[in-house]
Amino acid sequence: MNNVLPSITVLSAMLSSFAFTMKPVDSETSLNMAIKQANRDSSTSSIVLKKDAAISLTSPIIYTGKQALSIEGNGAVLNGEKSGTYEEFYDKEEKITTVRTNDGTLVFKTAADITISGR
């Protein structure tokens, strides 16, 4: 019985560190918290955005972790127009508009692999 309590405490602590990354991100606050969690905890390897979430960013969010990080978009839209200045570019051949922020909406200061998917 004496060994059970420490094991439960350790398991509880481990599960709490993973619980945040399993909850889909649906706001600027939760995205910022997820990135900060990934910056602190190298076992955090993915962030999942809530399906079709519309997330407005009002300031840059910076990832500095050393581990590879995957961000699964699930059709979510990150809108950084209120986080600084930006320019739109339209590619006639690809028929797609891209946006470049001058201030940096999402900044990845890492040598690790970053994967962003729109699934």
Q: 86 is in which domain, residue-wise?
A: 4-117
Question: For the chain, how many structural domains are there in total?
Answer: 1
Looking only at the bridges linking them, the beta strands covering 86-91 and 96-101 are antiparallel
For residue 86, the one-letter residue type is Y
Query: Per-residue confidence of the chain (119 residues) as pLDDT tens digits?
Result: 555 444 444 443 444 444 444 578 999 999 999 999 999 999 999 999 999 999 988 888 888 899 999 999 888 888 877 776 667 778 788 777 766 666 667 777 777 777 777 65
